[in-house]
Amino acid sequence: MWEALSEPFRYPRPLGKDAAAPGSSQSGKRAKAKAKDWQGTLRRIWQYLAHRKGRLTLVLLMVIASSGLTLLGPYLIGMAIDDYLEGPGGRPWLLFLLGLACVYVLQSVVGWLQNIWMIQIAQEAVFRMRTDLFEQLHRLPIPFFGKRRQGDLMSRMTNDIDSVSSTLNSSAIQLFSSVLMLGGTIVVMLLLSPLLTLLTFLVVPLMALGMRWITRRTGALFKERQRNLGELNGFVEETLSGQRIIKAFSQEERVIHEFRKRNERIKQSGFWAQTISGFIPKLMNGLNNLSFAIIACVGGVLAIRGAITVGVIIVFVEYARQFTRPLNDLANQWNTLLSAIAGAERVFEVLDEEKEDVDESSAVSLDTVSGAVVFQEVSFSYEEGGETLKQISFEAKPGETIAIIGPTGAGKTSLIQLLSRFYDADGGKITLDGRDIQSIRRESLRSHMAFVLQDSFLFEGTIRDNIRYGKLDATDEQVEEAAKLANAHSFIMRLSGGYDRLLIADGSGISQGQRQLLAIARAILADPAILVLDEATSSIDTVSEIKIQEGLKRLMEGRTSFVIAHRLNTIREADRILVLKDGRLVEQGPHEELLSQEGLYSELFHGQLEQ
């Protein structure tokens, strides 16, 4: 029966991914990542549950006890009725009723225990799954995030995990108890009357066919709904974080219209998934009533002929109901289960992505570095076919300042991404202190670097905490010292609350220049050997500008600094200027030398830079 019900259900393959069949010959990580099938997903959910085997055994015992008690109830009712009909002198039917009361009380207690324990196991499993997902999200490489919307990832963390959670809490146990009840009821029915049992079974093929028709359609719809939900969340996240731009360009109406369209898609898939799966209980009810009628008619005739007692008919009617009830339950739980599997699959999809540190077993950690960086014929592209950086070679001695300039899209940011190993080069070699950076643990490499980017991210927390992000164990004095060196101290002291001023929602409430000063303080506190700066293109008022320049100067002292430079001063004072164009390093050298070459640099300098 179970086989018959489960057989027709097949998940559609996820879009754009050719999933391998379970048990395919591929081995290792890729095979695991590709095996997108519902059985595999169920197996993995089971692994999360199996952490509490002892508890789980207890729950199983409770389910067995509860099923046994449920089977006992109708039997006692039938006995009591037969004894009552026999009239005085028969067995004390009141005793049966008393027994029945005990059975019901016990059933409630057992049900309650089974519920509590299962919720506990389920919550722990979901807790572990959620933790795994969060940890994984923080171990995935930057390119992964480039391909996905944040909101969709958020949706996996919330909606998808939630749907797994609610299913594990109740449906999983109900499914198991339904299967048990089904087996138990069939056995007792056969013992009571094989003929009536056969008649009851008449409806089973109809049920199987109906379920097959329904689940074929709903499986794909539930998956589509989860995907649509993820996409909608991605869209909402994007529009909320881009509020200023949306308002500035008066795009509210268009955004609302787009939202309506996406919301409509969820409504459609949700509507059809729920409507079609809503047929399940109706179908079951109809067939239930049909089997009831058959038993009542045939049972009545048999009783009149004296072949069976009235008590047996009543027991049988009750059992027939109990026989279809687990089927009914199974059918009802089916759609919850489908949406949970769809959710779990989306969670496992992220868990199966390759982590950033997957091949770092042989990599080393560096305690101290002097900051000598060499690029040797480095090539790189984001996508196959294109070449973002072509054969870049240069050298930065410890403490030198390297200015990187070039037209937009020339590859300046990409060069920095390679240095910090957010991406890895396709060809050539980058060394730090003579060691290939591929052989250095990413965490260790980045701990020797600090970044001051145009848009420095501030976390919710106090100003002090935000500066301390550069070095978590820094004392309050060290934080203030860094802020003073960064020229941030005076503005912080003018804020109400000073260092304890709470910044919310990515530091709204402080100016762009002030954010940069905080980022500089953060970097000073981190005290790295290598510094990466992305100079702001937008002009800030002169006083702030001078303060930032001073702060940066102090920060850059004694460190190898890579500056995506826009200010003439920075470029002039750099030890070496790298001029990029279309991914090629076309010129390099100090300002005067490049000027005298009268190439692209001198052209840029006399054109844009001079302005």
Residues near ligand ATP (CB under 6 A) are: 146, 382-383, 388, 406, 408-414
Maximum C-alpha span of the chain: 124
DSSP string, 30-66: HHHHH---HHHHHHHHHHHHGGGHHHHHHHHHHHHHH
Say how far apart CA 487 and CA 554 lie, in whole Å: 10
DSSP 3-state of 20:
coil
Nearer to ligand ATP, 253 or 384 (CB): 384
Nearer to ligand ATP, 286 or 409 (CB): 409
Nearer to ligand ATP, 479 or 565 (CB): 565
DSSP string, 210-276: HHHHHHHHHHHHHHHHHHHHHHHHHHHHHHHHTHHHHHHTT-HHHHHHHHHHHHHHHHHHHHHHHHH
Q: How far is the CB of 366 from ligand ATP (least distance, A)?
A: 26
Nearer to ligand ATP, 405 or 552 (CB): 405
CB 118 within 8 A of CB 58: no
> For the chain, first and last CA: distance in Å?
80
CB 312 within 8 A of CB 193: yes
Q: How far is the CB of 424 from ligand ATP (least distance, A)?
A: 14
Q: How far is the CB of 387 from ligand ATP (least distance, A)?
A: 10
Q: How far is the CB of 548 from ligand ATP (least distance, A)?
A: 19
How big is the CA angle at 345 (ends 344 and 347), to the nearest 5 degrees?
A: 65
DSSP 3-state of 505:
coil
495 sits in which H/E element: none
Nearer to ligand ATP, 414 or 514 (CB): 414
Nearer to ligand ATP, 413 or 420 (CB): 413
Q: How far is the CB of 288 from ligand ATP (least distance, A)?
A: 58
Q: How far is the CB of 120 from ligand ATP (least distance, A)?
A: 44
CB 543 within 8 A of CB 551: no
Q: How far is the CB of 267 from ligand ATP (least distance, A)?
A: 33
Structure tokens at 194: 């094989």
Nearer to ligand ATP, 167 or 417 (CB): 417
Nearer to ligand ATP, 9 or 422 (CB): 422
DSSP state, residue 355? P
Sign of CA dihedral 320, 323, 325, 327: negative
Q: How far is the CB of 150 from ligand ATP (least distance, A)?
A: 15
Nearer to ligand ATP, 343 or 411 (CB): 411
Q: Going by DSSP bridges, is the β-strand pair 461-462/560-564 parallel, antiparallel, or unpaired? A: unpaired
Say how far apart CA 9 and CA 61 lie, in whole Å: 30
Nearer to ligand ATP, 309 or 381 (CB): 381
Structure tokens at 203: 């409806």
Structure tokens at 3: 């086989």
> In one letter, which amino acid is 144?
F
Structure tokens at 186: 């069939």
Q: Strands across the sheet with 560-564, in order?
A: 435-436, 427-432, 373-380, 389-396, 584-589, 576-581, 401-405, 560-564, 530-534, 449-452
Say how far apart CA 282 and CA 56 lie, in whole Å: 33
Q: How far is the CB of 141 from ligand ATP (least distance, A)?
A: 12
Structure tokens at 222: 């539930």
Nearer to ligand ATP, 222 or 423 (CB): 423
Q: How far is the CB of 396 from ligand ATP (least distance, A)?
A: 18
Nearer to ligand ATP, 193 or 414 (CB): 414
Q: How far is the CB of 576 from ligand ATP (least distance, A)?
A: 17
Q: How far is the CB of 137 from ligand ATP (least distance, A)?
A: 18
Say how far apart CA 497 and CA 500 lie, in whole Å: 5
